[in-house]
Amino acid sequence: MSMYGRFNDMVDSVLAPPPPQDAESHTLRCADMFSGIGGFHVAANNLGLEVVFACDIDDAARATYQHNFGLAPEGDITRIRAESIPDHELLFAGFPCQPFSIIGNKQGFADPRGTLWFEVARIIRAKKPQGVVLENVKQLTTADKGKVLQRILDDLTDIGYTVDHRIFNAVNFGLPQKRERTIIVATLAKFEKFPWPTETKPMMPLSSILEPEPEAKHFVTERIREKRREAHAPAVTPSIWHENKAGHISSYPYSCALRASASYNYLLVNGERRLTPRELLRLQGFPDDFEIISTDSQVRKQAGNAVAVPVVQAVIEGVISVLERSNKTTRVSVTA
């Protein structure tokens, strides 16, 4: 079996969808806000859901999304009228994280991008989806001493939702990437305790992610390699070497969090080459049949902005279970 076949088998085990539904079941419709290249969409497909709307301001990301899913995302969310969005039962949003990130300026709602939450709230208020899943950086919970998160939770509560939030790490969902993210859930159905995923999945080995014969263009110069070797000796191989903002170098049998705006040599495989576009997507849980149509630099940005598929998929399953228990889920038939 090829390396690619082994990777796809491992992805299938991490992202295993539920058993096929019976003939009487129907498909929940989803809206994918700040969709990027479609991490939420991949998770929705794995769960047998139907994405009926998407939006993102980035041209290259929209092109990749349309190419892979056949759905053309709308553009700037501030220009989208809520009435023009198809009805949907679930809404997903990985709204911009830079205002809250430790890598960004951490200005929260003082940053114009931070106020894009209010655009999401506007649409939620107008469309009233049965369930909502939001994703952002870990630092969202501490931004402005917790006031940013509390405002989001209060807004959702005021609209009529029961809410909860947790921080999850992608490495605990089978991916060889240490990526901590805040997940917020909200449902119109009331719950006393949200069924958060609790099972830790074994991490796929880094070797299953790495391409056996990467192109020469991904290798750094000998000068950079020597500089890294002088500063660090790895404990394991293969490993991904990480250089932090202070210039300290460390290596692990997994990747540190992918970042859209990271320096070109932020992460180096065995201290000698950059991750390939396919490897970047694998680290976020995208399957190998997801087609790459963008440049290497665009894919690096797109992967850094994407959600970790197995994390959001597990959370979406919890939302669906809450709605099904409440018997308040609005479903629609999907015709062949």
Give the DSSP per-residue string, 219-242. BPPHHHHHHHHHH---SSSS-EEE
Taking alpha carbons only, the member of 220, 214, 210, 216 closest to residue 281 is: 210
Taking alpha carbons only, the member of 54, 51, 2 closest to residue 27 is: 51
For residue 264, what pLDDT is reported?
A: 85
12 CB neighbour count, 10 Å cutoff: 12
For residue 10, what pLDDT is reported?
A: 59
258: left (phi over 0), alpha (psi -120 to 50) or beta: beta
CATH superfamily for domain 3-196+303-326? Vaccinia Virus protein VP39 (3.40.50.150)
Beta strands in 18-104 (DSSP E): 29-33, 50-54, 90-93
For residue 283, what pLDDT is reported?
A: 98
Q: Which of 30, 55, 97, 256 is catalytic?
A: 97
Domain boundaries, given as residue ranges, for the chain: 3-196+303-326, 206-289
**Global pTM value:** 0.88
Q: Under a CB-based contact definition with an 8 Å cutoff, are residues 164 and 140 in contact? A: no
- In angstroms, the first-to-last Cα distance of the chain is 35
pLDDT tens, the chain, 336 aa long: 444 455 566 556 555 554 444 434 568 999 999 999 999 999 999 999 999 999 999 999 999 999 999 999 999 999 999 999 999 999 999 988 554 444 445 444 454 445 799 999 999 999 999 999 999 999 999 888 888 999 999 999 999 999 999 999 999 999 999 999 999 999 999 999 999 999 999 999 999 999 999 999 999 999 999 999 999 999 999 999 999 888 899 999 999 999 998 888 999 999 999 999 999 999 999 999 999 999 999 999 999 999 999 999 999 999 999 999 997 544 433 332
For residue 25, what pLDDT is reported?
A: 53
Taking alpha carbons only, the member of 154, 204, 208 closest to residue 184 is: 154
97 is catalytic: yes
For residue 261, what pLDDT is reported?
A: 85
For residue 85, what pLDDT is reported?
A: 98
For residue 98, what pLDDT is reported?
A: 56
For residue 174, what pLDDT is reported?
A: 98
